[in-house]
A and B are shown apart, each in its own frame.
Chain A
């Protein structure tokens, strides 16, 4: 085992930075991702038009007043991330070459944004990501193929089949989820102690 709980296949998330070789900029954030947007707007602003999509859902703090004051751009606010993602898909349908994409929030949110962009031929490497707020993970049950979200422990109960899943340190970008494998398949009933390690 490596030191700590380093996840080898976990993507590297950086801090958001403007890329001024662009025709337009789209910033998408949810919850505590609002703070990353505030930090982004403290940098020298690019000249091209900027559109910000923000949903306060899941935030620990209310970033909305600060965003409304700081964001000198087209700020679009959505009550839920589902509404935000629907608006994002509509926006992509009319977007042009040279659009730069920035996203901040939970892992699941950022990969939902990335997946929507992929439908329009935008490569994952062209979506800048900053992980904020919870380290909670989405878990894919390899047995029944269900996704269980907001998992903060090493072992999770599958929302689909109810099996106790050991969460493998293996991440799939396409699913935005980690692999979950039945923990007591070899020795039924032997479930190790459940620890909250991804608060």
Chain B
């Protein structure tokens, strides 16, 4: 995929669009016609060329615009980045991990040179060149976690492992599906997932926790999660709910193709070497119904998933008000044909 970075917005006039190449590589999350939560965790191994999983961290055509949107959100609400005092080792782990991954996988855009502890980082798309001393936070313009968190697409949470569970003790969160970092920071795994319906009954969270506690260095894992968002808005935070909540009333059968977006999170988890913390990356991909329907197989699939979604999940995902409008809009693509299993577009 070419890296021609787009000028676009994720608020106000919402000029965000996906190129045909971005649509084709969209991480469509539905291999079957029905959807229910499961521990759909798999090794984060390199995917095919051009796929969102080709590299450790995915940089795509929206990189510059997303980093700009993140900076706006952080300026309006600095509480979107938080780190408890004992997380400093994990912060440096995060900086090293992101710098090394980006420089290795995208050498034309990023470079990192090291001379002992004297490091120089170059980020060409954002026009940044920074020399600093690794381990000395005073040599960076801000904490190491926030510094690199601002230069990578998506949200990041650093999980500390103790008391037989994981604690979300640091985060930079500006493109979240309606959860609050300021509220959740410091929470244990079970407290964090308290509001998710159906999962207690299914035992999903207990099994996922057990699995992640034994996550090893060099063996990262990933899963996809999804919800829907009206307008291509990254910042659907509870903090700003008064700004975006009303958009749910605007969807009808005519405009659903344009307004309603499938929001897919590529969640990846990496064990860090110094702190033993886990980096939890939550990368958001947006696609409008119109863009999705350029591949009728996807439109058919999503029509069936959304139509038959468990009522608890419809409510939890905040889809209740516009579910019928989107299902009606998508129905024109669904001839009822068997499309088999798998997430491929064609």
Contact = CB atoms under 8 A, between A and B. Distances in A.
Given A125-B163, A145-B182, A182-B241, A173 B194 contact: no
Given A8-B200, A123-B163, A173 B186 contact: yes
B248 interface: yes
B185 A145 contact: no
Interface string A114-144: 0000000001110000000000000010110
B242 interface: yes
Contacts of A168: 195
Given A125-B163, A142-B239, A182-B242, A174 B185 contact: yes
A181 interface: yes
B245 A186 contact: yes
Nearest to A143: B239
Contact of B246 (A8, A169, A173, A186): A186
SS class of chain A's interface: helix, strand, loop or mixed? loop
Interface in B270-300: none
Interface residues of B, number: 27
Given A8-B194, A186-B249, A187-B249, A172 B186 contact: yes
A181 B238 CA distance: 7
Interface in A157-192: 168-175, 179, 181-182, 185-188
A9 B188 CA distance: 10
Given A8-B195, A169-B194, A170-B194, A185 B183 contact: no
Contacts of B163: 123-125
B245 A185 contact: yes
A145 B79 contact: yes
Nearest to A169: B195
Given A8-B194, A8-B195, A172 B242 contact: no
Contacts of A125: 163
Interface string B180-223: 10111111101111110000100000000000000000000000
A142 B245 contact: no
Contacts of A182: 241-242, 245
Contacts of B182: 142, 145
A172 B182 CA distance: 10
Nearest to B164: A125
A170 B180 CA distance: 11
Contacts of A8: 194-195, 200
Interface of A: 7-11, 123-125, 140, 142-143, 145, 168-175, 179, 181-182, 185-188
Given A143-B239, A173-B191, A186-B249, 19 more contacts: A8-B194, A8-B200, A9-B191, A123-B162, A123-B163, A124-B163, A125-B163, A140-B183, A143-B241, A145-B79, A170-B195, A172-B183, A172-B186, A172-B187, A173-B188, A174-B185, A174-B187, A179-B180, A186-B246
